[in-house]
Amino acid sequence: MTLPLPAGFTAAGVHAGLKDGGKLDVAVIRSDRPAAVAGRVTTNAVKAAPARHTEAALKSGRPVRAIVINTKNANALNGRRGMEDLRRIVEASAALLRVKPAEVLMHSTGVIGVPLPVEKILAGVRAAVPRLSPGGGLDAATAILTTDTVTKTSTVAVKAGGVEGRVTGFAKGSGMIHPCMATMLAYVLTDLDVPRPLLDRIVGEAVDRSFNSITVDGDTSTNDTVLLLANGAAGNKPLKAGSPGAKAFAEAVDTVFLDLAQAIVRDGEGATKFVTITVKGAKTDAEAKRAAKAVANSPLVKTALFGADPNWGRILAAVGYSGARVDEFKARVAAANYTLYDGGKPVDWSRDRLREIFSAPEIEILVELRLGKGAATVYTCDLSYDYVKINGEYTT
């Protein structure tokens, strides 16, 4: 398996001693020229030092040349030391990469409240720099994993601005996933020339349909970040909003973002099922998403799905407390196009048929509210015994 990086980008993943067994644990991404960057960081008020640093960089609008990522340690809730350690690593990494410190971002993922092992991370960066290559994407994607069981990657070729470019991304995330944004890091790269205002708009729209439409456990992390870098190495004229090229690029970004977001849910800690929840006919799109997320985050719904328990009443009950407007006498609930409830009462459904539906590895749930035109889709997974075991032993 390979992960082709867009022109002008190189990457590497190395073992720096943060993980046991020689596993890759520090990643570096580099662009051979300044890249426009747009992104989103966690909405959690308790932000890790890397999230605060990235948030400030995004607000400044300055271009980026490199990103350093470490695993096993989140650099969160470490007080002033957290930011001081980050700056020390950024400055040293900039010198090693021969770029300006202002062009380097750093991200961390792992345990909260433990100081960064600065020297180990810097040793990792020193080892990564000579290994940077266009073929290093998969190693970088592997190096950022924590409780993940698989790498999450996606790549799409796209014709835009008279040239063929590429959009490639990789992500990590398995638990503490309830983005708006969760412990989720995603890096998407393109060699197309995209002005930053357009890049930011495309990211915002794509994030809402992907990373902000997934949940594993309802917990929002201190470190979530998704970034899209565009370095223009493909040689196209800058894309213009509304142009066919901009639309093609936005579709490619949508595809990569959704691929990565769904991969995170499929690899949810202890997950055995991938669940798509769609709410239609809400008063507004926002209310539809609120209702869908309530169902997706309900422990009772998620455990019922794990056990293939045909307790469908939990679905509409979750919609009822979501804050979305609902009239139980107008609503309809279905699973795999099999109607369970309609117009104020249960239909004549089969317990065996519903157990069969809930036993499938992929489940689709539909709630029709019939109050308006609002609609939303959210992706989640079931909640298993293994989720409790993984998180009960995370720091031991």
Could you tell me the two tokens for 260?
Answer: 């990565």
Cα gap 374→322, rounded to integer Å: 15
Could you tell me the two tokens for 75?
Answer: 């650099």
Beta strand 338-342 with 345-346 is antiparallel
Place of tokens 């004549």: 348
- What single letter denotes the amino acid at residue 15? H
Cα gap 357→344, rounded to integer Å: 23
Task: Kindly name the residue from 146, 183, 222, 225 that is annotated as catalytic.
Answer: 183
Could you tell me the two tokens for 249?
Answer: 């690029």
DSSP at 243: S
Alpha helices in 152-224 (DSSP H): 196-209
Cα gap 41→54, rounded to integer Å: 8
Q: What's the gap between Cα 44 and its chain centre?
A: 15
Task: Provide the phi-psi class of 218: left if phi over 0, else alpha when psi is between -120 and 50, else beta.
Answer: left
Question: Does residue 303 have an active-site annotation?
Answer: no
DSSP at 57: H
- What single letter denotes the amino acid at residue 368? E
Cα gap 78→122, rounded to integer Å: 19
**CA separation, residue 72 to residues 260, 270, 389 (Å):** 21, 19, 18
What is the secondary structure of 179-195 as a DSSP string?
-SS-S-EEEEEE-S---
Task: Provide the phi-psi class of 277: left if phi over 0, else alpha when psi is between -120 and 50, else beta.
Answer: beta
Cα gap 112→127, rounded to integer Å: 26
138 and 153 in contact (C-beta within 8 Å)? yes
6 and 233 in contact (C-beta within 8 Å)? yes
Beta strand 163-172 with 338-342 is unpaired
Residues labelled as active-site residues: 183
